[in-house]
Amino acid sequence: MNTPVNLLDFDVDGLVAWFAGLGEKPFRARQVMRWMHHEGCDDFDAMTDVAKSLRARLKDIAVIRPPVPVRDSVSTDGTRKWLLDVGNANAVETVFIPETSRGTLCVSSQAGCALDCAFCSTGKQGFNRNLSAAEIIGQLWLANKLLGAARETAADLEAGDKDNGRIISNVVMMGMGEPLANFDNVVTALRLMLDDHAYGLSRRRVTVSTSGIVPAMDRLRDECPVALAVSLHASNDALRDRLVPINQKYPLRELMAACQRYLERAPRDFVTFEYVMLDGVNDSDAHAHELVALVRDVPCKFNLIPFNPFPNSGFLRSGAERIRRFAGILIDAGIVTTTRKTRGDDVDAACGQLAGQVQDKTRRTMVRLKQSTEIR
């Protein structure tokens, strides 16, 4: 028997093409798309305006299957984290961060991460595989369902108030994995987030975070420009080579040039630089002044992230006064700078803490265990 097709894997163009293969007209694909994503429906029988014969056929050949939640944790500050089963003993994490003016969902793109940034819990556990488009958009589908998200009315859409009534108003691709290393599946999911037949989010409210894969940044600019965040974390190549190893392939000069190119088509007129504050490593006044010189020609803002510890990380969080002084140097240079409030750290949902469960194909965990044994 053929494996049923998961319809969450398709953006609207892909679903139209799939329905065409069944001999169905494009409007049928859009009907099903709206039921799936507007209504959070996974039951073909409930799609009442779809022809009964087509519903019966879909039940035989297709499914609407998001990842399965295996753990649901809620922080004292309201942050909510789900551990989601993606098969073969792998699980990824998705985080919802409620705020007064918006609700942000942090979405994962890979089971593990191959980039091995020195201060990131996800990177320490190695890498298994890319998530499918269904597993990526399924995180948004599932979070909407579990949060009981309200949907816009037709009048809201006509009035242009596309975020009215939404619990999830923003999506950030900042969970487990490097989104641009899973380019095709991530872009399919992004198109669904932006499509009015699905979630209809503004490009300004969807952010992709990257460690700096330059060719993929250029592709994203050309194919699906959304807001861009760059995990910078160092002010010079020598330090960044150590903290963010992808810098050895795409050094800072190339990364800054790619940021400038991206802004030619970006929905926002600035790039956000993410900068984790590591005590005694990248947080000196000299580092701050280096950053000012580095980004002189790149319209940007900085988001300083107090390091969120995890076992055996080898790093400490910069002190509050050190972070304040560092931020002051950037602000005095005319750079908009914020310090991220740590959210969800009591359930390991804060930035850099997502770990999930990964069957490591890179064998990184075994190598580290051997190294630690040899050191003893």
Mean pLDDT of all residues in 335-346:
77
120 shares its domain with 152: yes
50 shares its domain with 95: no
Domain count, the chain: 2
148 shares its domain with 50: no
Q: Over 70: is that where the pLDDT of 371 sits?
A: no
Which of 35, 63, 91 finishes a domain?
A: 63
Residue 232 is labelled as binding a ligand = yes
Any idea which residues carry the catalytic annotation?
A: 93, 351
Q: Over 90: is that where the pLDDT of 88 sits?
A: no
What CATH number should be reported for the domain holding residue 117?
3.20.20.70
Q: Over 70: is that where the pLDDT of 368 sits?
A: no
Residue 113 is labelled as binding a ligand = yes
Residue 82: pLDDT band with limits 50, 70, 90? very high
Which of 39, 63, 87 finishes a domain?
A: 63
**Residue pLDDT, tens place only, 128-157:** 899 999 999 999 999 999 998 534 433 343
Average pLDDT, the chain: 88
Residue 312 is labelled as binding a ligand = no
Mean pLDDT of all residues in 29-55:
96
Which of 27-41, 120-134, 215-229, 259-273 bottoms out in mean pLDDT, i.e. has the lowest?
120-134
pTM of the model: 0.88
54 shares its domain with 102: no
- Residue-number span of the structural domain to which 190 is assigned: 68-375
Nearest CA among 105, 98, 106 for reference residue 75:
98
Environment class of residue 156 by beta-carbon count within 10 Å: exposed (0-12), middle (13-18) or buried (19+)?
middle
226 shares its domain with 291: yes
Residue 304 is labelled as binding a ligand = no
231 shares its domain with 314: yes
79 shares its domain with 59: no
**Residue pLDDT, tens place only, 3-22:** 999 999 999 999 999 999 99
229 shares its domain with 152: yes
Residue 209 is labelled as binding a ligand = yes
**Residue pLDDT, tens place only, 317-332:** 999 999 999 999 999 9
Residue 231 is labelled as binding a ligand = yes
What CATH number should be reported for the domain holding residue 54?
1.10.150.530
**Residue pLDDT, tens place only, 106-115:** 999 999 988 9
205 shares its domain with 94: yes
Residue 233 is labelled as binding a ligand = yes
Which of 63, 86, 103 finishes a domain?
A: 63
Max distance between CA atoms of the chain, in angstroms, equals 69
**Residue pLDDT, tens place only, 68-77:** 999 998 888 8
Residue 290 is labelled as binding a ligand = no
Q: What is the 3-state secondary structure (H, E, C) of the chain?
A: CCCCEEHHHCCHHHHHHHHHHCCCCHHHHHHHHHHHHCCCCCCHHHCCCCCHHHHHHHHHHEECCCCEEEEEEECCCCCEEEEEEEECCEEEEEEEEECCCCEEEECCCEEECCCCCCCCHHHHCCEEEECCHHHHHHHHHHHHHHHCCCCCCHHHHHHCCCCCCCCCCEEEECCCCCHHHHHHHHHHHHHHHHCCCCCCCCHHHEEEEECCCHHHHHHHHHHCCCEEEEECCCCCHHHHHHHCHHHHCCCHHHHHHHHHHHCCCCCCCCEEEEEEEECCCCCCHHHHHHHHHHCCCCCEEEEEEECCCCCCCCCCECCHHHHHHHHHHHHHCCCEEEECCCCCHHHCCCCCCCCCECCCCCCHHHHHHHHHHHHC
Asked whether 35 and 13 are in contact (CB, 8 A), the reply is no
Mean pLDDT of all residues in 186-208:
97
Q: What is the pLDDT of residue 372?
A: 35
**Residue pLDDT, tens place only, 218-265:** 999 999 999 999 999 999 999 999 999 999 999 999 999 999 999 999
Residue 161: pLDDT band with limits 50, 70, 90? very low
Mean pLDDT of all residues in 287-299:
98
41 shares its domain with 141: no
268 shares its domain with 346: yes
Q: What is the pLDDT of residue 159?
A: 44
189 shares its domain with 166: yes
Q: What is the pLDDT of residue 97?
A: 93
